[in-house]
Structure 1
């Protein structure tokens, strides 16, 4: 895998973890405004998850990298995004996919005793196009 560098999130946490992964999925955007994207098509999505915190768990992790990969990759790899319940009432755009990944990761982190936070999700749809999702304070409530 080619090494990627992404926009940094300013923060004051002691530790920052970044996990890169990819998955293949199809989607379509059922809107006349979506042009060619109205038709079913697929992407190899590349995802970067940024997690930060001050405390580590008893093993010495913010969170095990494997837990993040299992959460995202197992959920979306080789699926049709439109079929996922989180996209029932919205189109599975790259922007909303990034937001949904953040919500899933943050829910996982909320159950950890060391209280890390997911600061950023980047979803690359093509080699030249990506979306950055950064939560606001109200997203953590």
Structure 2
């Protein structure tokens, strides 16, 4: 596997875990402005997720790598992304663009992490759609209300 350098997510946690994975999927962008991407076409998506936290679980993991792969690869591999309930051809905020795919992966992972007793956080999702194009999604930090 080719070593990849990813942008760094800034955080104050003690542990940081990164998991690389890939999945093959097709999609289309239902907008005339998408040009040729209006047509169904496929990609091999390369994904890196960054998980951070201060506490390890009972097995000494921040989170099990296999759990992360199951969440992403298990859901999207060899599918038409437009067929997933996570995406909506009627709402531009839910078209299966690389940006929306990255945000959706974040939401799926964080939902699972919120159920863990050690409460790790997904701090970054990197999705490469082509050799020359990628998106980084980072959740906004919660603002403190005084």
Scaled by the length of structure 2, the TM-score of the pair is 0.93
Report the counterpart of residue 111 of structure 1 in structure 2: 115
Q: Give the distance between the partners of 2:102 and 2:34, measured in 1 at CA.
A: 18
> Which stretch shows the higher mean deviation, 81-90 or 94-103?
81-90
Deviation for aligned residue 1:137: 2.6
The equivalent residue for 1:102 is 106
Per the alignment, residue 132 of structure 1 pairs with: 136
Rounded to whole Å, the distance in 1 between the matches of 2:37 and 2:6 is 26
Query: Separation in 2 of the partners of 1:32 and 1:128?
Result: 23
The structure with the greater share of residues assigned to helix is: 1
Segment drifting more, 86-95 vs 47-56: 86-95
Segments of 5+ residues of structure 1 without an aligned counterpart are none
- Cα RMSD, aligned residues only: 1.1
Aligned length in residues: 139
Residue 59 of structure 2: SS of its match in structure 1?
coil
Distance in 1 (alpha carbons) for counterparts of 2:61 and 2:124:
18
1:93 has 2:93 as partner: no
Structure 2, unaligned runs of 5 or more: none
Structure 1 stretches of 4+ moved >4 Å: none
